């Protein structure tokens, strides 16, 4: 499942690979982040030094990986892509570090998932472009000092708060990626409709923008589904009506919430009487992982003021009851 099936799910797929901007100028929004990065890139290049390490944080689908691909493109250098979840032991990290070429970029997505034992290697790698590898054990243990090429580490995380202070402090540049406005999302839809060679009018683009939870990845996924739907049901013609029908069919509502988002609110209201309820309890009841809820569902509900997090747990707001058309309990 994923973007290809148009079911509105958040997995990566066609949308990400085909529609991802290749250069910084193709990116929409995040103007202040882009301005600061351009200055940092300029300065590093004129000094002939590698760019400082960069940490991006923010909810999924807002452009962290995109930045990690356009930055090396601006600098005419190569990038290696790794995922924190795959770096379970130091030996998983070593090939990446020894492969870095001078001034190149190593991107670690989900860097909060890097275990402590691997994280310690990053410290010297980031600070001194050096790692100390211990070979053998006991009395035979020897330490091998490996020099690395000066490089730039780009880390991405949905959970900046989970990063240890020593790791966080080694990033010279830290950028938080925020939500996109309706106009920015509509602009992304227009640009990507052109890439896909389909016609999408203003009204249809606005519907997609309104129903994409302020997230470019979702705007792309919705656009691909609308394209498929229009092809099969409307002779390829995308109109406001066709767009609404297409999104209704996969359960994307007027706020852009999908089935899982509504299931979350429904569970909180029905089973926990609106809360406060603990994340784990909600996750167990829904039979999904707490991490998924915290990363992918809650951020937008919080930002839309449908949900609040209190010390005692998650609480549905009056706005949530209204949106879900449920009566507020006394
Ligand atoms: P993240 O790494 O934060 O989860 P991505 O960088 O993978 O998010 O973004 C998901 C998709 O959204 C990309 O493939 C790209 O097509 C689109 N996208 C993200 N940010 C932008 C942007 N600023 N302008 C245009 N498209 C974007």
Predicted confidence (pLDDT) per residue in 307-328, tens digit: 999 999 999 999 999 999 999 8
pTM of the model: 0.92
Ligand 1 pocket, residue 63 CB under 6 Å = yes
Q: So what's the pLDDT on residue 95?
A: 94
Strand-strand pairing, 313-316 and 307-310: antiparallel
21, 31, 66, 155, best to mutate for ligand 1 pocket (most atoms within 8 Å of CB) = 66
Q: Print burial letters for 49-80: b (CB count within 10 Å at least 16), e (below 16).
A: ebbebbbbbbbbbbbbbbbbbbbbbbbebebb
Alpha-carbon dihedral 206, 212, 215, 219, rounded to 10 degrees: -70
List CB contacts of 100: < 8 A, sequence separation 6 or more.
80, 106, 148, 149, 151
Burial (CB count <10 Å: 0-12, 13-18, 19+), residue 135:
exposed
For residue 119, how far is its CA from the centre of ligand 1 (angstroms)? Answer: 26
Q: Which one is predicted more confidently, 1 or 243?
A: 243
Residue 278 to residue 257: CA distance in whole angstroms: 21
Contact 257, 298 (CB under 8 A): no
Supply the DSSP string of 235-289, one letter for each residue: TT---HHHHHHHHHHTT--TT---HHHHHHHHHHHHTSTT--B-HHHHHHHHTS-
Tell me whether the omega of the peptide bond preceding residue 276 falls within 30 degrees of 0, making it cis. yes
9, 14, 17, 20, best to mutate for ligand 1 pocket (most atoms within 8 Å of CB) = 20
Atom 16, ligand 1: which residue's CA is nearest?
20
Structure confidence by residue, pLDDT tens digits, 190-233: 999 999 999 999 999 999 999 999 999 999 999 999 999 999 99
Residue 260 to residue 307: CA distance in whole angstroms: 14
Q: So what's the pLDDT on residue 322?
A: 96
The answer to whether 191 is a known catalytic residue is no
Ligand 1 pocket, residue 52 CB under 6 Å = no
Number of the ligand 1 atom closest to the C-alpha atom of 216: 12
Strand-strand pairing, 142-147 and 307-310: unpaired
Q: Please determine, for residue 4, whether its predicted confidence score (pLDDT) is greater than 50.
A: no
Mean of per-residue pLDDT scores for the chain: 93
Name the token pair of 184: 């920015």
Lowest-pLDDT range of 55-59, 136-140, 207-211: 136-140
Q: So what's the pLDDT on residue 271?
A: 97
- Pick the catalytic residue from 16, 57, 109, 261: 109
Name the token pair of 28: 């929409």
Burial (CB count <10 Å: 0-12, 13-18, 19+), residue 252:
buried
For residue 21, how far is its CA from the centre of ligand 1 (angstroms)? Answer: 8
Q: Please determine, for residue 89, whether its predicted confidence score (pLDDT) is greater than 70.
A: yes
Residue 306 to residue 232: CA distance in whole angstroms: 35
Structure confidence by residue, pLDDT tens digits, 249-300: 999 999 999 999 999 999 999 999 999 999 999 999 999 999 999 999 999 9
Residue 216 to residue 208: CA distance in whole angstroms: 10
Structure confidence by residue, pLDDT tens digits, 9-45: 445 566 677 899 999 999 999 999 999 999 999 999 9
Q: Note the Cα 308 to chain centre separation in Å.
A: 22
Strand-strand pairing, 152-157 and 105-109: parallel
Q: Please determine, for residue 172, whether its predicted confidence score (pLDDT) is greater than 70.
A: yes
Contact 294, 279 (CB under 8 A): yes
Q: So what's the pLDDT on residue 10?
A: 45
Report the length, in residues, of the chain.
330
Q: So what's the pLDDT on residue 13?
A: 66
Alpha-carbon dihedral 96, 169, 58, 317, rounded to 10 degrees: 140
What pLDDT band is residue 5 in, cutting at 50, 70 and 90? very low
Lowest-pLDDT range of 12-21, 94-103, 116-125: 12-21
Name the token pair of 128: 């001194």
Interface ipTM: 0.99
Contact 50, 77 (CB under 8 A): no
Q: So what's the pLDDT on residue 11?
A: 53
Q: So what's the pLDDT on residue 12?
A: 59
Q: So what's the pLDDT on residue 17?
A: 76
Mean pLDDT of 82-89: 95
Mean pLDDT of 124-147: 89
Ligand 1 pocket, residue 215 CB under 6 Å = no
For residue 282, how far is its CA from the centre of ligand 1 (angstroms)? Answer: 29
Q: So what's the pLDDT on residue 261?
A: 97
């Amino acid at each position: 499942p994923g973007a290809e099936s148009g079911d509105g799910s958040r997995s990566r797929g066609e949308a990400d690979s085909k529609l991802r901007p290749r250069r910084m100028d193709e990116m929409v929004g995040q103007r202040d982040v882009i301005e600061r990065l351009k200055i940092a890139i300029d300065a590093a290049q004129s000094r002939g030094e590698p760019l400082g390490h960069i940490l991006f944080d923010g909810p999924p689908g807002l452009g962290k990986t995109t930045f990690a691909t356009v930055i090396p493109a601006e600098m005419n250098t190569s990038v290696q892509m790794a995922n924190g979840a795959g770096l379970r032991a130091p030996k998983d990290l070593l090939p990446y570090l020894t492969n870095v070429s001078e001034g190149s970029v190593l991107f670690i997505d989900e860097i909060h998932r890097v275990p402590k034992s691997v994280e310690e290697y990053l410290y010297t790698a980031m600070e001194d472009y050096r790692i100390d590898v211990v070979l053998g054990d006991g009395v035979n243990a020897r330490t091998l000092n490996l020099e690395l090429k000066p490089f730039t580490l780009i880390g991405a995380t949905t959970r900046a708060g989970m990063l240890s202070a020593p790791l966080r402090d080694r990033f010279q540049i830290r950028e938080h990626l925020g939500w996109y406005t309706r106009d920015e999302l509509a602009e992304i839809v227009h640009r990507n409709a052109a890439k896909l060679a389909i016609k999408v009018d203003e009204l249809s683009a606005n519907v997609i923008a309104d129903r994409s939870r302020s997230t470019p990845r979702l705007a792309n996924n919705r656009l691909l589904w609308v394209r498929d739907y229009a092809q099969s049901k409307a002779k390829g013609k995308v109109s406001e009506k066709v767009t609404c029908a297409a999104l209704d069919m996969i359960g994307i509502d007027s706020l852009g919430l999908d089935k899982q988002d509504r299931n979350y609110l429904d569970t909180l209201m029905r089973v926990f009487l609106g809360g406060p309820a603990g994340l784990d309890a909600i996750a167990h009841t829904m039979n999904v992982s707490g991490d998924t809820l915290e990363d992918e569902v809650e951020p937008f509900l919080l930002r839309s003021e449908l949900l609040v997090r209190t010390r005692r747990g998650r609480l549905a707001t009056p706005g949530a009851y209204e949106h879900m058309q449920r009566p507020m309990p006394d």
